[in-house]
Chain A
Amino acid sequence: MSTETQAVEAEVKEREPLFSKKNRKLISNPLDADNPITVQVLGVCSALAVTVKLIPTLYMCISVLFVLICSNVAISLLRNVIPGRIRIIVQLLVVASLVAVVDQVLQAYAYDVSKQLSVFVGLIITNCIIMGRLEAFALANKPGPAFLDGLGNGLGYAVILIPVAFFRELFGSGSLFGFNIFGENYPGNGVMMSPVGACIVLGLLIWFQRSRNGYTEEA
């Protein structure tokens, strides 16, 4: 009995703890130095499209987070059995199924938001962040780190989208989370309402971030 416990303990010690320094980086890196949107410039289309109001943006971020984590873990679990020749199709299938589930759940429990997000929920399938993480990380790593990587990148996505939506809703419609901030007479700002405004806000965010941490694009 005692030898058995020792054996188990030894095995636990050999395994890398889930929140080791290396693994913590999987979460912290995508938030800043390796942000999927501002540094890798992936998933920009949805950052421009769904950031008109904060509430739909929040739902979008949660949806992407869910799809990213689940698909990362699923592909990581399958990484040793997926035939190399059809791996992209398998990834797509997994992602598409998860997105369809998210879409169905939103339609049932957040009907108004699902109407506002409309086609952009379905377009999560084509979000480059998700396929990018599956190819670059999940296929080569264990489920634990893959989970953290999904979490980190999902949060990295949210940490950009929410500020963009904050400024767009504030200046575009003079409200935050639907509550009026600038009063009834605020005429609204058409540029902020359109994707052009999102592009400008996103550009400013990228500028701010890069000037702060000194990141430059390699030629």
Chain B
Amino acid sequence: MSKLNKNSSGYIFGFALLVILVCGVLLSVVSGALAEKQYEERELERKKFILKAALGDEIAAVEKTEIAVMYEQRVKESVVNSKGETVDGIAANAVKLKNEYKKLEKNGSVKAGQSINLPVYMVMNADGSEVEYYVVPTYGFGLWDNIWGYVALQKDLNTINGVVLDHKGETPGLGARITEEKVQNRYRSGKTIFEGDKLVSVTMKKGEGNDYSSDPHAVDGMSGATLTADGVNAMMSSYMNLYLSFINAKKS
């Protein structure tokens, strides 16, 4: 080794190639070995979010290992399109929400010529005889990056039973508060998305500490995070519109 000229181009290229090869092999082995476990964790989180949106505090006490069992027992999955028709041949958990979100225009309508896949999760009552909650995923953009969440509607398909919100890069302590129970619980006081027959969604207002108990379409905001709240509102309203045909079909 000592006889090699360490400053020759050949040595440098050879050395670089060798290091890259070793690092590359290491990374692919690790990534391959952990892929399954990572997928399980993501699936578990999805199931937990869906159950939590519908059942709320009940879920907090459920052990991690029992989430999957509970999901199996209580939840039925289906996929619809924006016309409310059932889409066959794709599993709800195979729908990549991020990719579906890209099919939307700025104003929330589906781009011309595109068909969007919208998962619907039906949470059955304890004996499994009828649907108790409809949980639908939503996806949007906050202040800095993507936000997403699940909205659970009661069986009247009007009253919001609960929401779970999550984000990629909102400001900690401000916009990131959408992941807090305290903020999400503001949607748990019987807010409704319809005014008569008209869809109005639910809006998170500017400012914090105000009482909106008399307004069924408004919830208290987050101080210092109005832009994240705007993102949540836009996400909520555009996805409720996407599911409108499905909701109307179910209602009639």
Our pick among B37, B45, B173, B224 for the contact of A52 (Cβ within 8 Å) is B173
Contact with B along A152-191 (1 / 0, CB 8 A): 0000000000000000000010000000000000000010
Question: Contact at B173–A105, with CB atoms within 8 Å?
Answer: no
Contacts A83-B15, A97-B26 hold; do A108 and B37 have CB atoms under 8 A apart?
A: yes
Residues of B within 8 A of A85 (CB): 7, 12
SS class, residues of chain B in contact with chain A: helix
Contacts A93-B23, A105-B34, A190-B224 hold; do A81 and B1 have CB atoms under 8 A apart?
A: yes
Q: How far is the CB of B230 from chain A (nearest CB, A)?
A: 20
Question: Contact at A104–B31, with CB atoms within 8 Å?
Answer: yes
Question: Is A84 on the interface with B (CB-CB < 8 A)?
Answer: yes
Q: How far is the CB of B143 from chain A (nearest CB, A)?
A: 15
Residues of B within 8 A of A100 (CB): 27, 30
User: Which chain B residues numbered 111 to 126 have a C-beta less than 8 Å away from chain A?
Assistant: none
Q: How far is the CB of A53 from chain B (nearest CB, A)?
A: 9
Contact with B along A94-107 (1 / 0, CB 8 A): 10110011001101
Q: How far is the CB of B30 from chain A (nearest CB, A)?
A: 5
Give bound CA distance, A172 to B7, whole Å: 54
Give bound CA distance, A89 to B19, whole Å: 10
Contacts A97-B26, A108-B38, A193-B172 hold; do A89 and B16 have CB atoms under 8 A apart?
A: yes
User: Which chain B residues numbered 146 to 188 have a C-beta less than 8 Å away from chain A?
Assistant: 168-169, 172-173
| Residue of A with least CB distance to B26 | A97
| Residue of B with least CB distance to A172 | B173
Residues of A within 8 A of B57 (CB): none
For chain B, the count of residues having a C-beta within 8 Å of the partner chain is 26
Question: Contact at A101–B20, with CB atoms within 8 Å?
Answer: no
**Total A-B contacts with CB atoms under 8 angstroms apart:** 66
Question: Contact at A111–B41, with CB atoms within 8 Å?
Answer: yes
Question: Contact at A193–B23, with CB atoms within 8 Å?
Answer: no
| Residue of B with least CB distance to A111 | B41
Q: How far is the CB of B175 from chain A (nearest CB, A)?
A: 12
Question: Is B42 on the interface with A (CB-CB < 8 A)?
Answer: yes
Residues of A within 8 A of B172 (CB): 52, 193-194
Question: Contact at B42–A108, with CB atoms within 8 Å?
Answer: no
Give bound CA distance, A93 to B19, whole Å: 8
User: Which chain B residues numbered 87 to 135 have a C-beta less than 8 Å away from chain A?
Assistant: none
Provide 20 A-B residue pairs closer than 8 Å at the C-beta atoms, listed in order of the A residue. A52-B173, A81-B1, A83-B7, A84-B6, A84-B7, A90-B16, A93-B19, A93-B23, A94-B19, A94-B23, A96-B23, A100-B30, A104-B31, A104-B34, A108-B41, A111-B45, A118-B169, A190-B224, A193-B173, A194-B172
CB-based closest 9 A-B pairs: A193-B173, A111-B41, A108-B37, A97-B23, A108-B34, A83-B12, A108-B38, A83-B6, A107-B38
